[in-house]
């Protein structure tokens, strides 16, 4: 088919129809994949982080892609599931000892000695309608503790459903990871063929994507470790038993979306307050709010700054805004969008030979 026949075949109406059809199919595809988008993105992130190791495993297995992918997924499952199972067993063990302790006569005597009505009289100077006598630890805390077994029995189905949903989600992540391990290189080759950009720009975008993934992973690990260490230090100063263990728990919980280290230091603060250690309780509350909770906004941009190639303040906005817009996966999407925006600006400047304006020398 010569060039003239090609032009006749692809008339303007044909091009428009093909474009509309393509957009409709892409929209339908996105609607179908949208419920699984988080699993697909997390799978792509896992594969991006571990693909060099996958290539070495594949070489050891004489180029068998399927078995190499299965080996990698088995390793990832072991690394993620085993610590989570150990943490769950330890938390259940701690909780089994904590509830009887809170229901014991000794704890009730401590609460009786804790005269909150006297200690909160100063609040009435600022809030005249406040009645300190209504703040009774026995009436506020013990009924809640007593209802915990009944709540667990009543909501056991919902808890099991949530666990089952998490298992299904993890299985979908493994499926998407398997697909990207086996077909990832083919997908990249196809994208390079379909891309109308010059090859060097395709490489630049691919490199930017990998750098942002690496930087996000490094930032999350460093932030979780810093928050765990800070939590352990605060608990140790406040005299909480097994501070190092609870610091490790905080490190793991900070990796989970919608959980965070507050699950560790807030109950410890309440425990100190009930036990009559008001000074340590106030210290731990301030430590958690001012130190532990703000580490995320300091360590993460610092740890991500190198490979993400974004200044600290825009990187902070990218992380926070990405999480606000997309949830947990916004940790990756936010910095990735900002980094790709900078790449687009650089490509535009290079292609159209637009020089950056130089600032006048400061006097």
* Same domain, yes or no: 86 and 130: yes
Distance set, CA 6 to CA 3, 10, 72, 87, 303 (Å): 5, 6, 47, 64, 53
Residues 125 and 270 in one domain: no
- Say if 170 falls within a structural domain: yes
| Same domain, residue pair 132 and 189 | yes
Q: Tell me, yes or no, whether 326 lies in a domain.
A: yes
**9 inside domain:** no
Assess whether 234 and 184 both reside in one domain: no
User: pTM of the prediction?
Assistant: 0.65
CA pair distance 247, 285, nearest whole angstrom: 15
Instruction: Say what angle helices 330-351 and 312-326 make with each other, to 10 degrees.
Output: 130
In a domain, 4, yes or no: no
Do 217 and 315 belong to one domain?
A: yes
Write down the pLDDT at residue 175.
93
Share of the chain above pLDDT 70, in %: 68
Instruction: Please give the pLDDT value at position 263.
Output: 83
Rounded Cα gap, residues 259 and 239, in angstroms: 24
Same domain, 256 and 128: no
- Decide if 189 is inside a domain: yes
- Our count of domains for the chain comes to 2
Query: 235 with 107, same domain?
Result: no
User: Distances from the Cα of 52 to the Cαs of 117, 181, 304, in angstroms?
Assistant: 63, 11, 21
Q: Is residue 119 part of a domain?
A: yes
Q: What is the pLDDT of residue 94?
A: 59
CB atoms inside a 10 Å sphere around CB 156 = 10
Q: Verify that 120 and 224 share a domain, yes or no.
A: no
Q: Does the residue 148 lie in any domain?
A: no
Query: Which residues fall within 8 angstroms of residue 309, CB to CB, at 6 or more apart?
Result: 208, 211, 339, 342
pLDDT of res. 363 = 44
> Quick check: is 13 in a domain?
no
Q: Are residues 183 and 206 in the same domain?
A: no
Question: What is the SS3 assignment for the chain?
Answer: CCHHHHHHHCCHHHHHHHHHHHHHHHHHHHHHHHHHHHHHHHHHHHHHHHHHHHHHHHHHCCCCHHHHHHHHHHHHHHHHHHHHHHHHHHHHHHHHHHHHHHHCHHHHHHHHHCCHHHHCCCHHHHCCCCCHHHCCHHHHCHHHHHCHHHHHHHCHHHHHHHHHHHHHHHHHHHHHHHHHHHHHHHHHHHHHHHCCCCHHHHHHHHHHHHHHHHHHHHHHHHHHHHHHHHHHHHHHHHCCCCHHHHHHHHHHHCCCCCCCCHHHHHHHHHHHHHCCCHHHHHHHHHHHHHHHHHHHHHHHHHHHHHHHCCCHHHHHHHHHHHHHHHHHHHHHHHHHHHHHHHHHHHHHHHHCCCCCCCCCCCC
What range does the domain containing 43 cover?
35-141+162-194
297 and 204 inside one domain: yes
> Does residue 189 sit in the same domain as residue 207?
no
Scored b (16 or more CB within 10 A) or e, 198-208 reads eeebbebbeeb
What is the pLDDT, as a whole number, of residue 362?
46
Q: Are residues 203 and 335 in the same domain?
A: yes
pLDDT value for 192: 81
d(CA 17, CA 125): 74
Which two structure tokens, joined as six digits, stand for 127? 């809030």
Among the listed residues 246, 287, 320, 269, the one whose alpha carbon sits nearest the alpha carbon of residue 90:
246
Q: In tens digits, what is the pLDDT along the chain, a chain of 363 residues?
A: 556 665 665 677 777 788 888 899 989 988 898 888 888 888 888 898 889 999 999 999 988 999 999 999 999 888 877 776 776 666 666 555 555 555 555 555 555 555 555 656 666 666 666 666 655 555 555 555 555 555 555 555 555 666 677 778 888 989 999 999 999 888 888 888 888 878 888 887 788 778 888 887 888 888 888 998 999 999 999 888 778 878 888 887 787 655 678 888 888 888 787 676 778 888 998 998 888 888 877 887 777 766 556 676 777 788 778 878 877 777 778 888 887 888 788 777 777 665 554 445 444
């Amino acid at each position: 088919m010569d060039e003239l026949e090609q032009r006749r075949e692809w008339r303007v109406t044909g091009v428009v129809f093909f474009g509309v059809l393509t957009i409709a199919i892409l929209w339908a595809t996105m609607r179908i994949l949208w419920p699984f988008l988080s699993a697909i993105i997390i799978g792509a992130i896992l594969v991006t982080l571990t693909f060099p190791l996958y290539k070495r495993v594949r070489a050891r297995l004489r180029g068998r892609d399927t078995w190499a992918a299965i080996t990698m997924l088995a390793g990832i499952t072991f690394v993620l599931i085993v610590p989570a199972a150990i943490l769950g067993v330890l938390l259940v063990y701690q909780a089994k000892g904590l509830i009887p302790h809170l229901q014991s006569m000794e704890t009730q005597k401590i609460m009786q000695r804790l005269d909150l009505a006297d200690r909160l009289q100063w609040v009435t100077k600022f809030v005249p309608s406040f009645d300190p006598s209504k703040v009774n630890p026995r009436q506020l805390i013990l009924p809640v503790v007593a209802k915990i077994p009944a709540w667990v029995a009543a909501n056991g189905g919902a808890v099991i459903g949530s666990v089952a949903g998490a298992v299904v989600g993890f299985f979908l992540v493994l499926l998407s990871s398997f697909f990207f391990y086996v077909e990832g290189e083919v997908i990249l080759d196809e994208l390079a063929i379909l891309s109308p950009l010059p090859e060097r720009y395709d490489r630049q975008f691919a490199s930017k994507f990998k750098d942002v993934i690496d930087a996000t992973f490094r930032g999350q690990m460093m932030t979780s470790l810093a928050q765990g260490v800070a939590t352990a230090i605060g608990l140790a100063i406040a005299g909480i038993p097994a501070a190092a263990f609870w610091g490790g728990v905080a490190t793991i919980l900070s990796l989970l979306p919608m959980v965070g280290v507050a699950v560790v230091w807030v109950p410890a603060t309440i425990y100190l307050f009930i036990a009559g250690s008001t000074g340590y309780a106030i210290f731990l509350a301030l430590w958690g709010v001012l130190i532990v909770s703000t580490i995320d906004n300091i360590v993460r941009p610092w740890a991500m700054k190198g490979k993400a190639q974004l200044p600290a303040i825009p990187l902070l906005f990218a992380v926070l805004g990405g999480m606000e817009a997309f949830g947990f996966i916004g940790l990756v999407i936010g910095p990735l969008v900002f980094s790709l925006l900078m790449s687009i600006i650089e490509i535009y400047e290079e292609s159209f030979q637009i020089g950056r304006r130089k600032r006048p020398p400061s006097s």
